[in-house]
Structure 1
Amino acid sequence: MMSPVPAQSTPRERQFSSYRTLKYGTLADQVGDLWLPEDPEALVVLIHGGFWLPQYGKDLMSKLASDVVSRRWACWNLEYRRVAGPGWKDFNSTLQDITAALHFLKSPDFPQGLPVALVGHSAGGHLALWSQLSPGASPEPCAVISAGGVLDLCYADEEALGGGAGAVARFLGYRDVSSLKREVSPIDMLPPCRVNSLPPEEASRGTVPRARIGLVHGKRDDVVPPEQSVRFLVSSTCARVPCELHMALDEGHYEVLDPKSVSWRAVISMAAQSAKTAAAPETLGILRKGQGVPCRATCRPSGSVADTAGGARR
């Protein structure tokens, strides 16, 4: 029997398959792959998922990185310390790495002055939104997009997402989630609901991100159920924080890792719209003054994606 002939890459695939691995820290997992086309128009930061476990790494996002750079956008595909991996002490190791990797964008290795979009999948969606809901978030991107993200850690813990004792319990070292929720759970880091009268100390808590918040979720996701994104959308709307949800009706958790998927097209659309808005001359002054780029929740049909601003489409 003849051996199969290896598939030959096309010139286009070869053109967008090279990158440099850069260290943003001294430890083995404090690295990222920088994909840099000529004259990039924007920069996309990719944060992979895998329930914060060490057996899942940045290679999960390599096809997406190649797609990003084919659009003349630079791409920073992150690695970070994960549960029980090399150099990992507790959940703060992971959070510190995300912060350090984003600060590293200011280094001379990166093109400066470009619109930046953060895109995270699954646990990476948690980390992307966490980074912008933390006080003093830097840098401030034009968009932060969660695809199938774990955004409500208390609810995820109740549902034991990730199997066994549950991914959230492992990530937090089996500490009480409710005692940490305002430090680590994106939905609980939002400002409180504005329809209620609150004491001053409650009314002032929480962070309003300056980035456009986008959520993408497969309606058939049985790994991280779409309720994670729907609950975040409801809480953000109640807190008057603009947010939009795109529900891919016929996709699950992993389809977004395919550049041809409906979910990934929704991610790219959000990133492109935000980058275009951020680069427009009338918004440059807003950005320099440190004010947020205007954005709004949307509710419009777009083929097989349901854009929802008030709940899941049934």
Structure 2
Amino acid sequence: MVVVIHGGYWQSDVGLDSIAALSEKLTKQGIATWSIEYRRIGQAGGGWPGTFTDVSQAIDYLPELAKKNNLNLNRVVIVGHSAGGHLALWLAGRHRLPSSSEIKTDGTPLSVKGVISLAGVVDLSLMEEVLSISEEVTREEFNPVRELIGGSSAELPERYAQASPIRLLPLDVPQVLIHGALDATIPIGISQNYKKVADNINKNVEFIEIPSAEHFKLINPESEAWPIVIKEILTML
């Protein structure tokens, strides 16, 4: 069972159709695939806390699906691209949230076998800083991390601590971070730094750099990046 989470900087104009080709390819290989949707920035209830509670409720609905579709919930892997990579890792680490958190849902989170992040925004504070610097240079306002959380990391440090995967380490499940060296959307250093921090805690995070890939080749089954991506998914399953 693979839970697929699309990217798009958590914004309303990008939905799960953006990752449909990957989902369809997995299904054709005989893998049960659950591509989930969530409220996004620009939609009522999107951002903090709705985006987080939506993905939690989506994955926790799997036991109901399993009753009707004979699914093996002992072999569930989450695969997320870009903003979806952030949400995938966050889902694996949400058991570490404080009981008072606005983004903590009721009940015991569904356990997963592992997570694969495809060019994921795995460190919200660092990405917010990168985007803030870009805003200063371009003099154009564009910081979806700030929009997602409701403010900057300096303004809302507790929210960033609860929403950023790097702040929830160790996640207690195997993780694979795949990132293209030519990615101009999410800098590869975001994943590299996560790997460095994780290695100081435990050794269950693998990092794979694809030299010829930019941001979207990772979810294109026709690209040279796909054999690497599917190999890691099948290995984790």
Give the counterpart of 1:121 among 76, 81, 96. Answer: 81
Which amino acid is 1:82 matched to?
R
Equivalent residue number for residue 70 of structure 1 = 28
- Per-residue Cα deviation, 1:181-231 (whole angstroms, up to 9, x for no partner): 2201111111xxxxxxxxxxxxxxxx432x320100000001001001101
Q: Once superposed, what is the RMSD of the aligned Cα atoms?
A: 1.8
* Correspondence list, 1:174-189, <5 A: 174-175=151-152, 176-189=155-168
Which amino acid is 1:80 matched to?
Y
From the CA coordinates, give the structure whose radius of gyration is larger: 1
After TM superposition, the runs of 4+ consecutive aligned structure 1 residues lying more than 4 A away are none
Distance 1:177 1:269 in 2: 39
- Per-residue Cα deviation, 1:222-242 (whole angstroms, up to 9, x for no partner): 100100110110011011141
Equivalent residue number for residue 138 of structure 1 = 109
Equivalent residue number for residue 232 of structure 2 = 270
TM superposition score normalised by structure 2: 0.85
Distance 2:149 2:223 in 1: 32
SS in 2 for 1:135: helix
Q: Where does structure 2 lack aligned partners over 5 or more consecutive residues?
A: 97-107, 136-140
Q: Is 1:166–2:143 an aligned residue pair?
A: yes
Give aligned-pair identity as a percent.
28
Distance 2:156 2:26 in 1: 35
Q: Where does structure 1 lack aligned partners over 5 or more consecutive residues?
A: 1-42, 191-206, 276-314
Equivalent residue number for residue 151 of structure 1 = 122
**Contact map agreement 1:153 1:177 (CA 8 A) in 2:** no
Distance of aligned partners of 1:61 and 1:109 in 2 relative to their CA distance in 1, 3 Å threshold: farther
Distance 2:51 2:22 in 1: 22
- Which structure has greater helix proportion? 2
SS in 2 for 1:240: coil
- Per-residue Cα deviation, 1:16-41 (whole angstroms, up to 9, x for no partner): xxxxxxxxxxxxxxxxxxxxxxxxxx
Distance 1:234 1:243 in 2: 9
- Per-residue Cα deviation, 1:141-195 (whole angstroms, up to 9, x for no partner): 21201000001111101111797241111111225253322201111111xxxxx
**Contact map agreement 1:216 1:263 (CA 8 A) in 2:** no
Q: Is 1:103–2:103 an aligned residue pair?
A: no
**Contact map agreement 1:121 1:146 (CA 8 A) in 2:** yes
Q: Is 1:93–2:46 an aligned residue pair?
A: no
Which amino acid is 1:140 matched to?
S
Distance 2:127 2:156 in 1: 10
Which amino acid is 2:92 matched to?
Q
| Aligned-pair CA distance for 1:116 | 1.1
Aligned residues: 215
Distance 1:71 1:112 in 2: 15
SS in 1 for 2:38: coil
Distance of aligned partners of 1:165 and 1:127 in 2 relative to their CA distance in 1, 3 Å threshold: same
**Contact map agreement 1:143 1:271 (CA 8 A) in 2:** no
Give the counterpart of 1:212 among 174, 179, 187. Answer: 174
**Contact map agreement 1:47 1:120 (CA 8 A) in 2:** yes
Query: Relative contact order: is structure 1 or structure 2 higher (C-alpha 8 Å, sep ≥ 6)?
Result: 2
